[in-house]
Amino acid sequence: MSVENWLTEFRSQGYRLTDARRAVVETVAKSPRALTPAEIHDLAKEQYPKLGLVTVYRTLEKLEELNLVQRVHQEQGCNAYLAHAEGHQHLLICQKCKKAVYFDGDDLNASFAKVGEKHGFIVQEHWLQLFGICEECRENE
Amino acid sequence: MSVENWLTEFRSQGYRLTDARRAVVETVAKSPRALTPAEIHDLAKEQYPKLGLVTVYRTLEKLEELNLVQRVHQEQGCNAYLAHAEGHQHLLICQKCKKAVYFDGDDLNASFAKVGEKHGFIVQEHWLQLFGICEECRENE
DNA sequence: TCTATAATTGAAAATGATTTTCAAATACTC
DNA sequence: GAGTATTTGAAAATCATTTTCAATTATAGA
Ligand SMILES: [Mn+2]
Ligand SMILES: [Mn+2]
Ligand SMILES: [Zn+2]
Ligand SMILES: [Zn+2]
pLDDT by residue (tens digit) across A86-106?
889 999 999 999 999 999 999
- Per-residue model confidence (pLDDT) at position A47: 97
Whether B125 and A130 have beta carbons less than 8 Å apart is answered as: yes
Give the separation between CA B139 and CA B22, rounded to whole angstroms: 35
Say yes or no for a CB contact (<8 Å) between A115 and B129.
Answer: no
φ and ψ of B34, to 5 deg = -70, 140
Q: Which residues of chain B does CATH 3.30.1490.190 include?
A: 89-139
CATH fold of A89-139 reads Dna Ligase; domain 1 (3.30.1490)
- Per-residue model confidence (pLDDT) at position A13: 93
Pairing of strands A69-74, B122-133: unpaired
SS3 content of chain A, % helix, strand, coil (to 5): 45, 25, 30
Give the separation between CA B79 and CA B83, rounded to whole angstroms: 13
Give the separation between CA A103 and CA B128, rounded to whole angstroms: 14
CATH fold of A3-83 reads Arc Repressor Mutant, subunit A (1.10.10)
- Per-residue model confidence (pLDDT) at position B1: 66
Q: How far is A116 from chain B (nearest CA, A)?
A: 7
Query: Residue A91: enclosing H or E segment and its boundaries?
Result: strand A90-94
Nearest to A26 by CA among A46, A50, A54: A46
With beta carbons under 8 A apart, name residues in chain B contacting A128: 126-129
pLDDT band at A4, cuts 50/70/90? confident
Whole-prediction pTM value?
0.92
Task: Output DSSP code: residue A99.
Answer: B
Nearest to B28 by CA among B53, B6, B51: B6
**Per-residue pLDDT tens over the stretch A15-57:** 999 999 999 999 999 999 999 999 999 999 999 999 999 999 9
Say yes or no for a CB contact (<8 Å) between A92 and B116.
Answer: yes
Say yes or no for a CB contact (<8 Å) between B119 and A103.
Answer: yes
Per-position pLDDT tens, chain B of length 141: 678 889 988 899 999 999 999 999 999 999 999 999 999 999 999 999 999 999 999 999 999 999 999 999 998 899 999 999 988 999 999 999 999 999 999 999 999 999 999 999 999 999 999 999 999 999 997
Give the separation between CA A80 and CA A40, rounded to whole angstroms: 9
Sorted by sequence, the CB contacts under 8 Å of residue A102 that are 6+ apart come out as A85, A89, A90, A91, A92
Largest CA distance in chain B: 56
Q: Which residues of chain B does CATH 1.10.10.10 include?
A: 3-83
Whether residue A1 has pLDDT greater than 70: no
Whether residue A81 has pLDDT greater than 80: yes
Subset of residues 34-93 in chain A with CB less than 7 angstroms from any atom in strand C: 36-38, 53-54, 57-58, 61, 79
Query: Residue B106: enclosing H or E segment and its boundaries?
Result: none
Question: Over the Cα atoms of chain B, what is R_g?
Answer: 17
Class of residue B5 by CB neighbours under 10 A (exposed 0-12, middle 13-18, buried 19+) = exposed
Task: Output DSSP code: residue A32.
Answer: S
Helices (H), A31-93: 37-47, 53-65
Give the mean pLDDT of chain A: 95
Which ligand gives the minimal distance to the CA of A109? 1
Give the separation between CA A42 and CA A45, rounded to whole angstroms: 5
